[in-house]
Every structure is written in C-alpha cells, then in structure tokens.
C-alpha cells in the first residue's frame, strides 16, 4: 500500500489511486482526448469509474475511448461556444442524475489574439468562461461527496484577473498575461464554486499540474520553446511525465484526506503553500484565492455568459 503522506512531484496517477475503488462513480473530464485528460480518464476507468470524455473531434474521441477501454464514453463539447456548452449540459442532465467528479481539464495556452464564437478573448473565454458556464449548468447533478477540479497553473503568477480590461480592449494583447489571467480565474472559480457547493455537501479544488509536454504547447513559438528549454536545462523548470502531471488533478478528485478542504489550490499532489510575490511554481499567490475577487469574478462571469 502506497504511503499517501509521501506523495509529491514524482507521484503518478496509478499511485494516487492505489486502494481507491471508483466503481459506480460518474466522472466527466473535459479535453479528455489527449495529454492529462486522457491519462486521467485511463487511470480512473481502470478503477471502475464510468468516464465521459469531451472533445471537439468525435472521431479522435472515439479512438481514445476505444484505446482506454472500460466504461468510457464520449461527448462533443466546444468550450469556446456558448451554444455547444448549453447543448452539452442538456444532454448530460438528461442522461445523468448524479455526477460524482467533474475535471475541468481542457485549455488553450499562449495563443495569438483570437476570440471565441461569442466574441470573448479566447484564453479567458475557453479556459474560464466555458468551464464556468458548463459547471454551473451541471450543478443540479452535483450532490453529496461530488468534487469539481479546475486546472489552474503556476502561470497564475503572470497576472491576476484584470477586471478593468479582461478582454484586452484598452491595452495591447499579451498572450502570457492573458493565459495567466485565465489561470488565476480558474483558481478563483474554485473558491467561488466551493462556497456555493457547501450546502450540497460537494467541494471544488484547483490544481497546478506541473510542466508537461502535451498538445497545450501547440501555440508556442520557437522563442517560447527556447525559453522553456533554457529553464529546463538550468533546472528552474522541472518537467513531469504525463502520468505525474495528471496525478494532482486525480488526487484532488478522489483523495479522502482532502474532504473538508474545498477551495484549496494543489501542486505536486498536496495543498500548495500561499505566498505573496512567489516565483516558486509549487506555491500559490494570495490573489488567486481571494474570496472577494472570487465573488467579483463570479458576478462578472454570470453577466458575460448571460448576454449571449
């Protein structure tokens, strides 16, 4: 039996799930067709869960589900489309009365300026607003013991939510600031969501998975790649394998020892220390857990999605 107190940066999904039975559990993983989402689906299906993976390419999703085996089904979802999100939620609620675990895993990173189908800046719109709307629509199916896990990132260090100009309408677009803002929003969403789930006996968490080579890096330029390569070589950017990278989100979704700790931000398969102005990738800045900012973000997010 794995010593769960020894979990850390090298821990894998299978180690996190050792001794945990997920039979009878319904799990939804956005962006489950590659990378961390696919690995999370594989590991949790192997423990008996009924897993739904979402993707934009249904042929790719079917191939992944077949490869994983077990009770894995697919659903089409485009997080950059309010219409797609609403249709997805309606389908899920017709099929499922209970959702035990929702992992908001999908994302886009450091993309050139673009907008979602509904005119929102792409990174904030897909990474945060899309998951915000989908999760709130699925809340009727979240009950006692349910967990929602949102993938944030140490990139939240790059920027808080810039409430005065979320969509970069008044200032020049900065792809890394936009990504950082969206990752701060993911953490704040977990704080706001957890407050709303308490009465249902459910909880929400956010996580930093680590630095992993996945399709998330598809928008990175040669200059970006060179910067990361330099950090990796210098040891300032530690790399993880995909099973190690997915371990923290799987842990947040299933660990019995986290019961009652909702709203927390995790890194390296443990609750991350909070530290002002930190550059340590395993620590979280206070503004990403600020309850007042979380409520402000919730109100603004509701307003933004309701206008579509």
Active site residues: 173
C-alpha closest to that of 196 among 297, 288, 95: 297
**Start-to-end Cα distance in the chain:** 50
CA dihedral (247, 192, 261, 35) in degrees, to 10, reads 0
Quick check: 238 and 212 in contact, CB under 8 A? no
Instruction: Name, in order, each residue with C-beta under 8 angstroms of 181's C-beta and a sequence gap of 6 or more.
Output: 123, 124, 158, 159, 160, 161, 162, 166
Q: How many of the other CB atoms lie within 10 Å of CB of 72?
A: 25
Helix (H, G, I), strand (E, B) or coil at 103: strand
Is the CA virtual torsion 294, 295, 299, 300 positive or negative?
Answer: negative
**Which among 67, 68, 75, 66 has a CA at the least distance from the CA of 31?**
75
DSSP string, 279-294: --TTSB-GGGS-HHHH
- Residue 20 burial (10 A CB sphere; 0-12, 13-18, 19+): middle
CA–CA separation, 26 and 146 (whole Å): 10
What is the Cα–Cα distance from 277 to 240, expressed in whole angstroms?
24
Tokens, residue 89: 């939620």
Tell me the pairing of strands 239-240 and 203-208.
Answer: unpaired
* Half-sphere exposure at residue 17, Cβ-oriented, CA atoms within 13 angstroms: 24
């Amino acid at each position: 039996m794995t010593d769960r107190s020894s979990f850390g940066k090298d821990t894998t999904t299978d180690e996190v799930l050792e001794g945990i039975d997920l039979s009878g559990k319904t799990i939804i993983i956005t962006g489950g067709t590659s990378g961390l989402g696919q690995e999370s689906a594989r590991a949790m299906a192997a423990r008996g869960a009924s897993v739904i993976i979402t993707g934009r390419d249904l042929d790719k999703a079917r191939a992944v589900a077949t490869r994983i085996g077990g009770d894995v089904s697919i659903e089409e979802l485009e997080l950059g489309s309010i219409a797609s999100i609403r249709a997805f939620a309606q389908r899920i609620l017709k099929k499922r009365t209970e959702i035990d675990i929702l992992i908001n895993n999908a994302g886009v990173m450091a993309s050139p300026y673009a907008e979602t189908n509904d005119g929102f800046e792409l990174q904030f719109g897909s990474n945060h607003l899309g998951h915000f709307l989908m999760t709130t629509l699925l809340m009727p199916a979240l009950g006692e013991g349910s967990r929602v896990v949102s993938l944030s990132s140490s990139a939240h260090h790059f920027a808080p939510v810039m409430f005065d100009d979320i969509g970069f309408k008044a200032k020049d677009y900065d792809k890394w600031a936009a990504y950082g803002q969206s990752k701060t929003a993911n953490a704040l969403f977990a704080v706001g969501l957890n407050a709303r789930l308490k009465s249902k006996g459910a909880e929400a968490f956010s996580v930093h998975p680590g630095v992993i080579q996945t399709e998330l890096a598809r928008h990175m330029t040669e200059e970006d790649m060179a910067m990361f390569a330099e950090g990796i070589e210098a040891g300032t950017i530690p790399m993880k394998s995909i099973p190690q990278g997915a371990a923290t989100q799987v842990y947040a979704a299933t660990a019995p020892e986290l019961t009652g700790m909702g709203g927390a931000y995790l890194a390296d398969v443990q609750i991350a220390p909070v530290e002002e102005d930190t550059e340590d990738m395993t620590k979280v800045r206070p503004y990403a857990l600020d309850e007042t900012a979380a409520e402000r973000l919730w109100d603004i997010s509701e307003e933004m999605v309701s206008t579509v």
